[in-house]
Amino acid sequence: MALEVKKNTTSKTIYYTLREEIINLYLEPGTSISEKELSDKYNVSRTPVREALVRLAQEGLVQIYPQRGTIVSLIDLSAVEDGRFLREHLERAVVKEACKEFSQENILALEMNLKLQQMYIENHDDKKMFEADEEFHKIIFEGSNKKRIWNSINDGSTEFQRIRMLRLAADSSWEDILEQHKEIFDAIKNKDPQKAEEYMEEHLNMVTFDKNTVKEIYPNYFK
């Protein structure tokens, strides 16, 4: 039993590490992934490595070819649109709930998050800013008692997250994103659901306007 628990834990660790590296583009679309190299890196057998890769394949983040190996999946623009559609419609609904449900503690959490975003922008720390961006949206869901929905859409919008990272790599626009976050925050604080929904829609539609430009810059990353 102890060995089984350890194996499952190792498989999860490898899965989450690779998932983050793929979404954050440390592993670029089209990159080959070696089971042997991962086994050596984590000092484990190939079994937990294979389990992690199968789970990533189920999410569409890698493709496994028998006798040929595993590669990081190219970005599918139709899946990007699915992820954007999912997030837009759920986040528009949830941000209206936030205007009713948010406590003072939730307001302070968002306010602190915005200060961190400002600091990360000034320090040119894209990785931390991306994490703070995701945390901003997560706080809105948690403050609206919709944490499980956040977990679901986070799992279902990985292609959307990858193209967001690419867009920022092509043209870092963190200042614009921060200003949009501030507008959303003010609407929640002022309990204005109409404005909150409007600002959230504008915010999430940024990817729609930029995705074709990103594809022109990184054509080899797309299907």
| 76-114 tens-digit pLDDT | 988 888 888 888 899 999 999 999 999 999 999 999 999
Phi, psi of 63 (to 5 degrees): -120, 130
Q: In what order do the strands lie in the sheet with 69-72?
A: 32-33, 69-72, 62-65
Contacts of 30 (CB under 8 A, 6+ apart): 71, 72, 74, 220, 221
Residues 25, 173: Cα–Cα separation, whole Å? 18
In this prediction, residue 6 carries a pLDDT of 45
Question: Given this structure, which CATH class describes domain 1-72?
Answer: mainly alpha
pLDDT tens for residues 166-188?
Answer: 877 776 678 889 999 999 999 99
User: What element of type H or E holds 68?
Assistant: none
- According to CATH, what is the number of the domain 77-218? 1.20.120.530
Helices (H), the chain: 2-23, 35-42, 46-58, 77-101, 104-122, 126-143, 147-155, 158-170, 174-189, 193-204, 206-217
The structural domains of the chain, with segments of one domain joined by +, span 1-72, 77-218
Q: Is the pLDDT confidence value at 208 over 80?
A: no
Q: In the chain, what percentage of residues exceed pLDDT 90?
A: 57
Q: Is the pTM of this model over 0.85?
A: no
Contacts of 63 (CB under 8 A, 6+ apart): 57, 70, 71, 73
The one-letter amino acid at 42: Y
